[in-house]
Amino acid sequence: MVLRIPKSLLRKGMYIESVECADLEFSGRRFLLETDTDLRTILASSAENVLVNPERSRIDCGVPVGRRLDDVNPSVPLREGEKRSQIQHAISHAAATLREGFSHIKSGKFDIDRFAPAARSIATSIRLSPPVLAEVTRLKTKDEGTYVHSLAVSGLMTGLGHLSDLGEETTRELTIAGLLHDVGKLLIPNPILNKVGKLTEAERHIVRSHPERGYQLLKRYPEVSDLILEICRFHHEALDGSGYPLGLRADRLSLPIRICTVCDVFDALTSVRPYKRAWTSTEALKWMFERGHLFDRRLVLRLGSLLN
């Protein structure tokens, strides 16, 4: 099994099967990346991606040994265009389902089965093509922003759940958790949520209350599992304790919570916002990878391999 990752995520200790560029220096070379010189040469080359063999690497490459990416992303006999239109259709349908499901939660009539069709669409879309799903959900209108963001996070979490060997049942929960993680935003006034300029301290405080509000909203319903509650409440925590609402540190942040955090931030960075351009996947992954004190680097790598 070989990982295809952007070159910006390369580290010493990785075993390189191939550097995807025409540069003669690397042609036919398979080697353990051990020196800064080799690393700098690859970074300076015209290659965008590098094939890495996790089983021959000296460091943890983020993917459990023996896990086949094909299990997650099987070759579906569809052309790119067909995949795109299927995914676009699935997303617009799922966004409508999610909007309806959220309005029921707000009025106190939560029914987890309402989210099953959206969860199925997302699971199918991520199997069809993770990069296309990430691209299709990148553009969000003001009205549907939270819904499409939740669908994107749900899809990426499903992919990382598979890649992390979390099993079918837990991965299904991750899909639902992705759909529900920002449900607390329903209780934040829209003018604050959609404000283009800088938030005041008071507004920032209100926005930052959404994980706790979402948790309080969902915990009234016995059909919402502890795992989903935990993800909803702690998805803005950071490994070094600088996150919110509780400032939990790494030892209190489970793998499913970390998965949500990485997917959430990745989607935020790569989305078009009124005040910023969308970052490319490579830019976002690199930015997160360089912040190992906040994000689990193994998961950033795993996300890189999912999207390549």
The least CB distance from residue 157 to Fe ion, in Å, is: 13
Distance from C-alpha of 290 to C-alpha of 278, rounded to nearest angstrom: 19
Q: Which is nearer to Fe ion, 38 or 264 (CB)?
A: 264
The least CB distance from residue 210 to Fe ion, in Å, is: 6
Q: Which is nearer to Fe ion, 236 or 297 (CB)?
A: 236
3-class SS at 251?
A: helix
Q: Which is nearer to Fe ion, 45 or 209 (CB)?
A: 209
Which strands sit side by side in the sheet containing 49-53, from one edge to the other?
3-6, 49-53, 15-19, 31-32
Closest by CA to 218, choosing from 179, 160, 165, is 179
Tokens linked to 286: 């690199």
The least CB distance from residue 207 to Fe ion, in Å, is: 9
Distance from C-alpha of 253 to C-alpha of 81, rounded to nearest angstrom: 39
Q: Is 296 in the site for Fe ion (CB under 5 A)?
A: no
- φ/ψ of 92, rounded to 5, equals -70, -35
The least CB distance from residue 105 to Fe ion, in Å, is: 16
- φ/ψ of 19, rounded to 5, equals -105, 120
Binding segment toward Fe ion, per CB under 5 A, in 58-66, 115-123, 166-174, 180-188? 180-188
Binding segment toward Fe ion, per CB under 5 A, in 136-144, 182-190, 241-249, 250-258? 182-190
The residue with its CB nearest to Fe ion is 182
Tokens linked to 205: 């405080």
DSSP 271: S
Which of residues 38, 182, 237, 267 is near Fe ion by CB under 5 A?
182
Q: Which is nearer to Fe ion, 95 or 177 (CB)?
A: 177
Interface positions with Fe ion (CB under 5 A): 182
